[in-house]
């Protein structure tokens, strides 16, 4: 059971970006990369905390879910994308998925995600694309012989890769 949905997290990210950028709308690229990196860093952090060095962790993550959300992540030309969120964002229909209790009163998860977003939302779109293109899980599932990149990236591959970063 994931912590939230990608659509609810997308709304949270959109709202946070508007607050930090004097009301500007977030670009589809920045939104997608923010979702991906939140998923990846969260999953990697929790996996690492549950690993062999878990006793050295300052925070007990044993009860935390690794998957931030359950929606599919695909390898598109500009990096990882959550297609369901992409379609709703493009159609301007995300707001129907608003969840005021997105982190289920878990202050630690909210704080962790906010820390990731603080860095991501300041970065340029294409620096985020470039960073996501460094990930082995994206490279492994990209098919450069197709005009449309739409191979699923297994969440296990993402979390595994980020548990070593």
Residue 132 CA from chain centroid, whole number: 11
Residue with tokens 């985020």: 128
Residue 124 CA from chain centroid, whole number: 16
pLDDT confidence bin for 143, thresholds 50/70/90: confident
Q: At what angle do helices 83-90 and 28-50 cross, to 10 degrees?
A: 150
Q: At what angle do helices 125-132 and 28-50 cross, to 10 degrees?
A: 40
DSSP string, 45-98: HHHHHHSTTGGG-SS--TTS-S-S--S--EEETTEEE-HHHHHHHHTT-GGGG-
pLDDT confidence bin for 60, thresholds 50/70/90: confident
Write out pLDDT tens, residues 98-133: 888 898 778 899 999 999 999 999 999 999 999 999
pLDDT of 19: 93
Strand partners, 80: 75
């Amino acid at each position: 059971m994931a912590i939230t949905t990608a659509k609810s997290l997308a709304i949270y990210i959109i709202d946070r970006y508007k607050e930090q950028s004097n009301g500007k709308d977030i670009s589809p690229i920045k939104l997608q990369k923010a979702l991906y990196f939140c998923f990846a860093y969260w999953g990697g952090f929790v996996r690492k905390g549950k690993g062999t060095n878990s006793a050295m962790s300052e925070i007990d993550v044993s009860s935390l879910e690794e998957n931030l959300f359950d929606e599919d992540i695909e390898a598109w030309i500009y990096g990882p994308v959550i297609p369901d969120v992409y379609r709703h964002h493009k159609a301007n229909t995300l707001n129907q998925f608003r969840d005021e209790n997105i982190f289920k009163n878990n202050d630690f998860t909210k704080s962790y995600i906010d820390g990731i977003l603080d860095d991501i939302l300041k970065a340029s779109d294409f620096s985020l694309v470039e960073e996501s293109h460094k990930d082995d899980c994206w490279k492994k599932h990209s098919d450069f012989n197709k005009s449309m990149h739409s191979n699923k990236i297994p969440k296990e591959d993402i979390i595994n890769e980020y548990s070593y970063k």
